[in-house]
Amino acid sequence: MQVLILGSGVIGTSVAYYLARAGHEVTVLERQPAPALETSFGNAGEVSPGYSAPWAGPGVPVKAIKWMLMRHSPLVIKPMLDPAMWLWGLAMLRNCTQARYEINKGRMVRLAEYSRDCLKALRADTGIAYDERMQGTLQLFRTQQQLDGTSKDVEVLQASGVPYQLLDREGCVQYEPALAAVKQKFVGGLRLPGDETGDCFKFTQALARLAQAEGVRFRFGVNIQAIEHDAGKGVTAVRTDAGNFTADRYVVALGSYSPALVKPLGIALPVYPVKGFSITVPITDAGGAPESTVMDETFKVAVTRLGDRIRVGGTAQLSGFDLRLDASRRDTLEHVVTDLFPRGGNVRDASFWTGLRPMTPDGTPVIGATRIPNLMLSTGHGTLGWTMAAGTGRVMADLIAGRAPGIDMDGLTVARYGG
């Protein structure tokens, strides 16, 4: 079957790879000169099924107000006349009940756990390398209140069968030796030994090369302008500045830019760009750098070891598609890494990056079929696109081949939004 994939971030590239392995004829359209140059470029590097949870949860509206008053706030909302932003925000608030949280988390964990298994199999199959580490992740608590507040999270981890360890200061230092120098700054942590880390950009580039070797054609520098549609036939072509492209099946994997292209087809996709930032610091003293990921719970900033670099990522900013690099966000990231890993590297040498998380209001991505028989979606992966990429690719390839996917698709498709 001929399949056209729109977008070559970590999601579109994963879908392309698995489809090609299944013997399909795949073309990928991408506006950038190479894969993973937008949101999949500089993320925090966590492959974290253990942290797969929606941002919308009970207590979040109150926490959000407190966060916005902090100097190094994890949440920034730029008041704008953007109806999509406010509608998305309201929909997110409606998901802040315990009942919705449990449903949404269940869906996310289902895909994330499956995805980790797929990633492991992919590594074993191909030997793909991406500065990967399999040393778990550590959520670090600076206050006793944060540590005491973990009981709910622990209940959820137990219920989902996710292994975890509650650690005191010494326990944290055992896994992250560099923290010994700043022991007075935290009281303990929650470690998820099953989580992994790695460079999403390196992974996507390597996977694209493997996909190419399987026959996938990447068309870079192509701007997708519209998806042509006929009521009887479904999608008839994809219009671009390099001409029209046709196929038997079409997969939209355009991250935050997906809703605008499917709207004219009558699909209302509530995916909104939630801006995040990262800095990447060259390591100057390996003993002073993290071993894996340390997630600073106070600032919601993740500090991850990626080979000879430290990646520091965080902040949720609602400001539309604006890609400006805000200096105050860099300050927050620098503050966290110098506070916890002062010897690891010099933040003056860091590179600064921003990306738009394609977020749904319930945290769960939108993957699989639509009402249009030859059109499928693979977007809305929000905070966890790297974590969920391999599983998404595998599921999409199975669906397109008409095989039952490895997980139940209930609640993962656009049907949950009436699309």
Ligand X SMILES: Cc1cc2nc3c(=O)[nH]c(=O)nc-3n(C[C@H](O)[C@H](O)[C@H](O)COP(=O)(O)OP(=O)(O)OC[C@H]3O[C@@H](n4cnc5c(N)ncnc54)[C@H](O)[C@@H]3O)c2cc1C
Residue 14 Cβ vs ligand X, minimum distance, rounded to whole Å: 8
> What gap in Å lies between CA 35 and CA 40, rounded to an integer?
9
Residue 397 Cβ vs ligand X, minimum distance, rounded to whole Å: 16
Nearer to ligand X, 95 or 383 (CB): 383
Question: What are the start-end ranges of the H helices in 240-360?
Answer: 258-262, 327-340
Nearer to ligand X, 187 or 378 (CB): 378
> What gap in Å lies between CA 30 and CA 7, rounded to an integer?
5
Give the single-character DSSP code of 25: E
Residue 396 Cβ vs ligand X, minimum distance, rounded to whole Å: 12
Residue 4 Cβ vs ligand X, minimum distance, rounded to whole Å: 12
Nearer to ligand X, 95 or 317 (CB): 317
Residue 200 Cβ vs ligand X, minimum distance, rounded to whole Å: 6
Contacts of 247 (CB under 8 A, 6+ apart): 2, 3, 4, 27
Residue 201 Cβ vs ligand X, minimum distance, rounded to whole Å: 9
Nearer to ligand X, 16 or 187 (CB): 16
Residue 144 Cβ vs ligand X, minimum distance, rounded to whole Å: 27
Indicate the pairing of strand 234-240 with strand 165-168. Answer: unpaired
> What gap in Å lies between CA 244 and CA 224, rounded to an integer?
9
Per DSSP, the three-state class of 46 is strand
Nearer to ligand X, 54 or 255 (CB): 255
Tokens of 61: 């509206």
Residue 132 Cβ vs ligand X, minimum distance, rounded to whole Å: 13
Nearer to ligand X, 15 or 96 (CB): 15
Residue 355 Cβ vs ligand X, minimum distance, rounded to whole Å: 4
Tokens of 286: 């390996």
> What gap in Å lies between CA 361 and CA 354, rounded to an integer?
21
Strands (E), 298-365: 301-306, 309-318, 351-359
Tokens of 34: 């190479």
Nearer to ligand X, 187 or 397 (CB): 397
Helix (H) or strand (E) holding 98: helix 98-126
Residues contributing to the site for ligand X (CB under 6 A): 7-12, 29-32, 37-40, 43-46, 223-224, 253-255, 257, 276-278, 302, 313, 355, 357-358, 379, 381-387
Tokens of 69: 């008053």
Contact criterion met (CB below 8 Å) for 302 and 314: yes
> What gap in Å lies between CA 336 and CA 331, rounded to an integer?
9
Provide φ and ψ at 61, rounded to 5°: -55, -40
> What gap in Å lies between CA 288 and CA 270, rounded to an integer?
42
Nearer to ligand X, 181 or 260 (CB): 260
Nearer to ligand X, 9 or 405 (CB): 9
